[in-house]
Amino acid sequence: MSRRANLNIFMEATISFPSDKLIEFVNFINECCEVIEHDQVAEWIMLPHGFLNNETPLNAFLESGPEKVYRLLYFIDKDEADLID
């Protein structure tokens, strides 16, 4: 099984969030796709990042909202932060 297939199975099994955050989550993913290659977004949101105190972007979104992750995306877009830290 490919790495991508494993990641998809993992995400399907572990991602759950309140339905009232669905639109906000879709907007969050769309913002990620503006800065990061589309085929890398699913993996990137699951990787811990130093800018987020070693939380994953997904956990940061779910725990405290998208603002800090949007700030990280801004710095990545301006080449002031690394995609993977």
pLDDT of 20 reads 82
Query: Considering the chain, what is the average pLDDT of its residues?
Result: 85
For 18-35, what is the mean pLDDT? 89
In terms of residue numbers, what domain contains 61? 3-77
37 within some domain? yes
Is residue 54's pLDDT more than 80?
A: yes
Q: Is 85 inside a domain boundary?
A: no
**Model pTM above 0.95:** no
50 or 12, which is more confident: 50
DSSP collapsed to 3 states, 4-52: HHHHHHHHHHHCCCCHHHHHHHHHHHHHHHHHCCHHHHHHHCCCCEHHH
Residue 84 falls within a domain, yes or no? Answer: no
Domain count, the chain: 1
User: What local confidence, expressed as pLDDT, does residue 3 receive?
Assistant: 55
In a domain, 83, yes or no: no
Residue 14 in any domain: the answer is yes
- The reply to whether 8 falls in a domain is yes
Task: Give the pLDDT confidence score for residue 19 in this predicted structure.
Answer: 79
Question: In this structure, is residue 82 part of a structural domain?
Answer: no
